[in-house]
Amino acid sequence: MNCYFLPILVFTHWCVPSNEIVGTTPERKRTWGSLCQLERALRSAAPCTIIIRRNIHMIFDSISEVFDALLSNFGPRGFKKPKDIAGQVVLVTGAGNGIGRLIATKIATTGCILVLWDIDEKGNEETKRMCDDLGAETHIYRVDMSDRQAIYSTASRVTSDVGVVNIVVNNAGILRDGGDFLKKSDDTIDATIRVNMMAHIWMAKAFLPNMIEQNDGHIVCVCSMSGIVGAKDIVDYSASKFGAFGFQEALENEMCHRKRNIHFTTICPSYIQTTMCDRIPLSSSTNFLSPNHVAEEIVHAILTNKRIVLLPKKTYFLYAAKGLIPRRTFQRLLLFVQK
């Protein structure tokens, strides 16, 4: 800080004679007053410089992280080396069919120990057989994801039977029907909220404590673009996904604030070519995502610790534009990205 006041000292001692500094004439008072004002200005600027200097590492780290995220999301697939999860326990909910089964079979080749949850016992057994054929150690449990106590009790069984779960993939979700929100029953709405949102909260309460104790873990939320952009005809489903997305983000922020080494990944695909989307009245021009492609992106995101993955990639621009452009313009953009 002394460097800021050196010019003042030089000016005072060499440019202004000492016999002129002390005096009562208006000129002498103005001279000394100007020096005092300059000194006060420099003193007030010094803390700002110190703040910038202290935060320079944070600034450079942030810039580096932004470029890393851009390259990770839009660069070549092999940009980031996947982590080794051999021997780790990976739990996948909704593994009895669809995206859950594809996630399980794709991650089965990593050498991890698989724990598969689903209410559909027959479908879950088939997924287990497929994973066993790929050489994975697989454990299956029948769980109703709308039942809080069932989640808690089964989580305790898993910890006792298999060990601490390292990666939780919250994939289970339901969409009973599409159409007019006001025509949907309260039971349908309640079930949708419980499975698609509340189950994520209950899963975190069940498995996060062990992750915190080990200071290591990974929670994955298979969400939806309708959890970022409100979707007509599936209002209850969209609301449940908004809740899941918000919970995941808030929990990540809390763990980050507490300096916990817990990773969070949120996947938001657009419409996928599955039986679930058959229940939604969509335009014939709607472009559906391949379930296999979505599952590959989910597994890749897990292995590279990605934070948020939007599918298809052009929906990143939709996400960025949401709060910046007028509603009607946004609606037109929404129709465009769905094609």
CATH number for position 134:
3.40.50.720
Catalytic residue among 4, 141, 152, 237: 237
Indicate whether 10 pLDDT > 50. Answer: no
Among the ranges given (225-229, 289-293, 319-323), the one the predictor scored with the smallest mean pLDDT:
319-323
Q: Which residue has the higher pLDDT, 227 or 320?
A: 227
Residue 174 counted as domain residue: yes
Residue 141 counted as domain residue: yes
Residue 23 counted as domain residue: no
Indicate whether 305 pLDDT > 70. Answer: yes
Predicted pLDDT of residue 333: 73
How many structural domains compose the chain? 1
Domain range holding 302?
A: 86-338
Q: Which two structure tokens, joined as six digits, stand for 144? A: 């109703």
Residue 49 counted as domain residue: no
Indicate whether 221 pLDDT > 50. Answer: yes
pLDDT bin (cut points 50, 70, 90) of residue 269 is very high
Contact in structure between 166 and 218 (CB atoms under 8 Å): yes
Residue 30 counted as domain residue: no
Residue 22 counted as domain residue: no
Q: Which two structure tokens, joined as six digits, stand for 99? A: 């995206």
Residue 127 counted as domain residue: yes
Q: Which residue has the higher pLDDT, 44 or 105?
A: 105
Residue 195 counted as domain residue: yes
Q: Is 237 designated active site? A: yes
pLDDT tens, position by position, 180-211: 999 999 999 999 999 999 999 999 999 999 99
